[in-house]
Structure 1
């Protein structure tokens, strides 16, 4: 029984010891939150530079505190907001201004600044820490206001906030603070200087607005008047235009009627010339067909007949030559057999055979030569017939040309020039052919006058009139037909005089 009590007592003692150890460890194992800094002090510590210092700062972690030897203090790293209310801070012009705003400040977590804050604010209440930051920040803001005008203070808040942040940060960093933001919310003064300045600006804006409105109205009036003037001028111009059109209506109608008459006359003359041209072309085609039927076709038939006869003669000659060759060969064979029988030898037989073959070839060649000669004579006869037909046609043309007067010969010359000056003479080619070819087939002309007395004059002026019109159009195109006619020995003034035009001026 006694042993049991001893066992229970030992267990209790061990449990008490364990609990005491756990409590000791829990009490001295210091845990540090991310938003605070724990300062261990009581003995010498070696920093990262190898220097001995009297405290050690731990942020965001844990460390075991040696009982009795070490102690622990805390600093909050939370941001605290300072409400700025600075009264009567004189600006660069001596005008006292009031500044209201907010600043977000905290004890820096950077090692160097945190060491400075530990030396200055460890174990101090939070109110005293915030007061120190406020007073330093207020002093810097007063200094900044003293370097700026009222217009700068109220006109560019961004520049004011940045200047306060840059200047105050340098000094507060030395105390271990970090300034997150500085925002100046209001700038005012007790002497109503800013209000008067605003009224002045407002008056200037109103004045500029009134001036702008007046200028806009004036420009609108000017533009409206200008638009009305333009419309009035357009109306006047339109009325004048219509009056001019009305005044020209009569002469224009007369001119259009005359133009229609002239156009109809020209179309009639053109149709007449076209019909005459068609008749002349048909006559020429008829003569051409007649020449082919009467001369060329018989000549070609004679040529074919002559060729057939020549070929037949050639075949007869060849057949006769072949018969003679075979007869000679037979005689040669007979001579060969005879020689063989008579014992004259193989040489005499071969010689007789070769002589027979040569005689046959000679006879064949003579027959072929006779046939080719006959074909050549037939072809020559056809060519002679064609040349005689062409010569006869040329003789007829020469006779027709001799019957033409100077105007007709000039038309023939101009017709030959069509290939050289197609742009000028092309449209008159049919007229030239129609005027010249029919006259070449006329022996005499009978003129009947129905009482007007000028039938002969009208007929005599037909061709000269067409030539005169051709000369005029050629001169407009830049081609001097008068000079060309004179060089060819033709005096154009004779037929131009008949047309009543005289000498045609050169272009």
Structure 2
């Protein structure tokens, strides 16, 4: 047994040594990333898939380990730690406002390396292995540039009244560049704005003066209120003293009055006794007067009242009788008037009914008469129309016959004219000669007195002139007759 153990002892020792060596090698190769740091492992090609998995771009051939452990090949891979803690830096930056006023702005920025693999990779490539002051200088430069640019577009009044706007604009403008560096801003505060030129003091002066004026006014108002209260208290004290003095005087007067009343008690008692005697005598006189009045009332007034009452009753009875008689007469007149009105109403109704019936009968008669007259008128009209039509036909036939006869006469006359025109004309002249002579002498008919000169010769001249005038008319008459004959002839032809 001991020989067997001795034979396997070297094997056991070798196994233990191998295990110990493996443990030491594992311990030396295992790296653990703390919660506030990141392990940057480089030196071995991790491949494209690993680069994508770790969140780095294709040019970053290293591993990033956060919050866990990993195996590292000693001698092949290098492990470096990147601190992820917060970093604070103070800013003291000289700026110039839009009004060309120099100001010194003091602030504080708290930042850190970002938590994503991309941010850690960017920060590792820029700051790993460098002095922390380098990172602070970079951050200070970024904030100084943006702060100067933003303050240059603002006035001093805007800086003083809206610091939050300045802070937010600076932080928003710096975020992109900080992200490119792999940094993330956690907090930014503007602590102080210094004014070397004293502009802030000038701005502050009117406000301070206004505040001081308000304070003085408030103090003056408080003093006035206090004075008013003191005066009111003094007045109250004076009133209290006056009231006390007045009350003391009243009490003194009451005491003196009581003493005087006590001194006058004896004379007052005598006077009261005498007054009572006078009152008793006065009462006796009043009783005597009342007795006399009652006797007069019994002897004189009551009989007079009885007579007046009797006269009043008599007058009231007569008045009531007259009223009753008047009412009876009025009632009788009312009844008579009502009966007369009823009679008149009945009579009027009967008359109205009779008038209505008579009117209806007259209307019926008038209607029948009108219908009869209308029928007669219509028959008469029809007869007259027929007669008128017959007369018209007869007249038309007569006119037609007359026209035909006239046409025949004109035709005969035209024939006669055609055959013996001269003879007919002479006949017409001879037939119408009296009329011609009458027309010739007609101008002399209206002459009342005619004076003829030259005697018989003058009268002969007048007669001869008239005859000559008639002779002058004959050609005209013949011409007219010829025209009539020609016209008749043309009508006959047509």
Superposition TM-score, scaled by structure 2 size: 0.43
Which protein has the larger Cα radius of gyration, Structure 1 or Structure 2? 2
**Higher helix fraction: Structure 1 or Structure 2?**
2
Superposition TM-score, scaled by structure 1 size: 0.42
